Structure 1
Amino acid sequence: MKKELRKKFISKRDILPEDYRKMASEKIFSTLEEHKLFKAAEKIFIFVGFGTEIQTENFIKRWINKKQIFVPKIDGNDMNLIQIKSWNDLEPGCFGILEPKHSANYVGEIDLVITPSIVYDKNGYRLGYGKGFYDKYLALNNHNTSIGISYDKLLQNDIPIDSHDKAVDIIITEEKILIINEKYNSNN
């Protein structure tokens, strides 16, 4: 069932107009940058957007010299967190996605995890690409806050979940902020 949903929502994302995707990406990151959780964060783990995903390149380039930026590098069945100091530290890697050239895996605590998905639901659950990398990482609880970013047009009321699926704490779209974890209700 999830396999069919992945195809369905990737197709829906792929047909979103490019100007909408660009505007939404910019607005999502503008909202994130104004949030006090982001302002307080020193160590940020963020995916490198590819294809029609929310684009993270401008955000990463904007903050790479101001905060510690970590991005994923896939090693077999594991996702490692690698700090980058420059966009030029990246090269095509697993699945053709840009990854760090080096392999200095970071295992310490992260302040803010910005989590990718194909689609989120309003309960903070995500439909990813099926490898479980982020669910495994979120289950380690080695981060303070997890934020999901989503195009508002793709946000769902519910998606099927499994027992190992982990919800994010907050979702940011170009239209709104959804507080999933109640401990953040006063942290807007």
Structure 2
Amino acid sequence: MDSKSDLRKKAKCIRKSLSIAEKSKIAIEKIRGNTLYIPAKNVLIYYPLRYELNLLALLDDEKNFYLPRVCGENLQICPFKKGDKLVASSFNICEPCSNFINPRNLDLVVVPALMADKSGFRLGYGGGFYDRFLVENNTVKTILPIAKELIVEELPHEEFDIKIDEIIPV
């Protein structure tokens, strides 16, 4: 089995070859029909990096949306709506400026990933931010929309890696 580092490089190459705009549209449609998303009132999404699925059209839905902000080794959860100001973080990720909330209020987390496997494990960027967040907030439901080309049979995973409730292939 390839190392996580090798898999990250491979995933980044694959993502560059995909039609992210088309995959994003499909992801939004599938999320809107998802049984975990439909009843959720408070949803954590992510601001897309280059070659990531852009899910910001979900902001048109009648829900309360939140974006993560990195604080040390943890994620803070901040309210976000269209037009809110964002600033570039030390990781060059757009983050909200608003005050953070108690993450226990979240109903659903839309998790980003470089790759996923058929068992529900994901390969992130290696910082462990989402894994730490999900360990502390283990009752919140999670979904992961991801290009079919980035889903593999099995990924290497550690005991601290968190399984996603539902992978949404696009």
Q: TM exceeds 0.5?
A: yes
Q: SS where residue 31 of structure 1 aligns?
A: helix
Alpha-carbon separation, structure 2, partners of 1:108 and 1:89: 24
* Native 8 Å contact 2:114 2:124 kept in 1: yes
> Where does residue 57 of structure 1 map in the other structure?
56
Of the candidates 132, 146, 166, which is equivalent to residue 128 of structure 2?
132
Q: SS where residue 155 of structure 2 aligns?
A: coil
Q: Give the share of equivalent positions with the same residue, in percent.
A: 28
Of the candidates 7, 10, 13, which is equivalent to residue 11 of structure 1?
13
* Structure 2 unaligned spans of 5+: none
Matched positions, count = 168
CA-based RMSD: 1.5
* Native 8 Å contact 1:43 1:111 kept in 2: yes
Of the candidates 113, 116, 120, which is equivalent to residue 116 of structure 2?
120
Alpha-carbon separation, structure 1, partners of 2:111 and 2:123: 11
TM-score, normalised on structure 2? Answer: 0.91
Q: SS where residue 80 of structure 1 aligns?
A: strand
1:126-176 deviation digits (Å, cap 9, x = unpaired) = 1101110111111123543100110011111111101100110001122xx
* Native 8 Å contact 2:79 2:98 kept in 1: no
> Where does residue 152 of structure 1 map in the other structure?
148
Alpha-carbon separation, structure 1, partners of 2:121 and 2:113: 9
1:19-56 deviation digits (Å, cap 9, x = unpaired) = x2211111111011012321211000111111001112
* Native 8 Å contact 2:79 2:99 kept in 1: no
Q: SS where residue 12 of structure 1 aligns?
A: helix
* Native 8 Å contact 2:103 2:137 kept in 1: no
TM-score, normalised on structure 1? Answer: 0.83
Of the candidates 59, 75, 79, which is equivalent to residue 75 of structure 2?
79
Residue 44, structure 1, aligned to residue 46, structure 2:
no
- Higher-helix-fraction structure: 1
